[in-house]
Amino acid sequence: MQVNEKSEKDCKALLEKIFLPPEMLIAKFAPNGWELSPLFTAKYPTPQERYERSLQMHRNFESLAQKAGRPMAKPNLEDFENESLQVSGTPLEDLLNLLGDGVSSVFSENNNVTAPNGAVYHLGSWRGSGGFIADFINEHYPVNDKYRYIDFYMGLLYEEDRAKCGVIFRHIFEVLKEEGCDWRFDQERRDDLEDARYEPPPAVV
């Protein structure tokens, strides 16, 4: 079935309504300071959260490591508690990163954002969507061409981070509502991806 898609210009125009000017972003999402915002721990998980995630990864790979004869050391909570916080960007850059992840989660991941006339705001595949968002941020903010597709490729992976970013998702859906947009999970697109079979090309000798 042929899907009517919005133009790249239309997609950028919609993102411009979501991505507020820098001073408005700070005022909306971190009015009392970035480090006091609940979004701060979405960007920089607590030592306990980092430990639990590392422990889950250890459980996932432990049996494989044992079979390979290379047992993995179990994570230690104290190591995470003694670890100094590594801040990767300015408050604005951190907010843009989280907002970009939120947009990726809403517009990608087999979801469809549609205009009142039914046309889809399609930002691309998972990688294409990440690249679209990265290019948009690089073009509209003073970030020195910092972002690449990989920064928004997977969106927000952990449920607890999505919960912390509730204010971001609320903002995105408020904008979509104001524009008369609809949002739904695209079951057909997921089925197409699951049915697809990847056949690697023959090796060139």
Per-residue pLDDT tens digits of the chain, which is 205 residues long? 557 999 999 999 999 999 999 999 999 999 999 999 989 989 988 888 888 888 887 787 777 777 777 777 888 888 878 888 888 889 999 999 999 999 999 998 788 999 999 999 999 887 899 999 999 999 999 999 999 999 998 777 777 778 889 999 999 999 999 999 999 876 554 444 444 443 444 443 3
**Residue 204 lies inside a defined structural domain of this protein:** no
pLDDT at site 189: 46
Instruction: Assess whether 164 and 145 both reside in one domain.
Output: yes
Contact 123, 9 (CB under 8 A): no
Q: What is the pTM of this model?
A: 0.79
Instruction: Assess whether 123 and 143 both reside in one domain.
Output: yes
How far apart CA 190 and CA 71 sit, in angstroms, is 37
Instruction: Assess whether 138 and 106 both reside in one domain.
Output: yes
Contact 75, 54 (CB under 8 A): yes
Question: Which stretches does DSSP call E strand in 49-203?
Answer: 111-114, 182-185
pLDDT at site 34: 93
Instruction: Assess whether 64 and 160 both reside in one domain.
Output: no
pLDDT at site 98: 95
Domain boundaries, position 57: 45-84
**Number of domains making up the chain:** 2
Instruction: Assess whether 73 and 32 both reside in one domain.
Output: no
How far apart CA 129 and CA 103 sit, in angstroms, is 9
Instruction: Assess whether 107 and 179 both reside in one domain.
Output: yes
Contacts of 120 by beta carbon, 8 Å cutoff, 6+ apart? 3, 4, 5, 6, 112, 113, 114
How far apart CA 166 and CA 169 sit, in angstroms, is 5
Map tokens 């930002």 to a residue: 123
pLDDT at site 195: 45
Residue 200 in tokens: 């690697």
Residue 81 in tokens: 């508690």
Q: How many residues does the chain have?
A: 205
